[in-house]
Amino acid sequence: MEIKDFESYLKDKKIDSDAFKKGQPEQWSKFKVLYDQMHPNSFTAQKLFLINPIRRAFPLKEEVQEKATPTAQARPKVMMRPKPKTN
């Protein structure tokens, strides 16, 4: 597992780092110092209940990608037939 920098971590958590830094610079700085001192999983465990409100306040704006929907031809329908009765 590769350890990432703080900005990449925020991007993975779908938080806009620049907006967060401008909106709450003191909180951003505190989080960065803590993040640099510990493993990302430990940081997430400690700040779990703070990440969601920050994500709602500073959502990362991503391009919406169209997902290809599978067609009926791509996945054939399975026919279930009862077994013939033997006497």
Model pLDDT for residues 35-65, shown as the tens digit of each residue: 999 999 999 999 999 999 999 999 998 754 4
15 phi and psi angles, rounded to 5 deg? -115, 135
Question: pLDDT at position 64, please?
Answer: 45
- Mean pLDDT value across residues 65-85: 67
Rounded to whole angstroms, how far apart are CA atoms 14 and 32? 16
Q: What would the mean pLDDT of 74-80 be, rounded to a whole number?
A: 73
The per-residue pLDDT for 73 is: 58
State CA 46 to chain mean position distance. Answer: 17
User: Could you tell me which of 38, 39, 75, 8 has the C-alpha nearest to residue 17?
Assistant: 8
Taking every pair of C-alpha atoms in the chain, what is the biggest distance, in angstroms?
82
User: How high is the pLDDT of residue 78?
Assistant: 79
**Average pLDDT of the residues in 2-9:** 84
pLDDT of residue 69 exceeding 60: no
Q: Which residue has the higher pLDDT, 76 or 63?
A: 76
Asked if the model's pLDDT at residue 27 lies above 70, the reply is yes
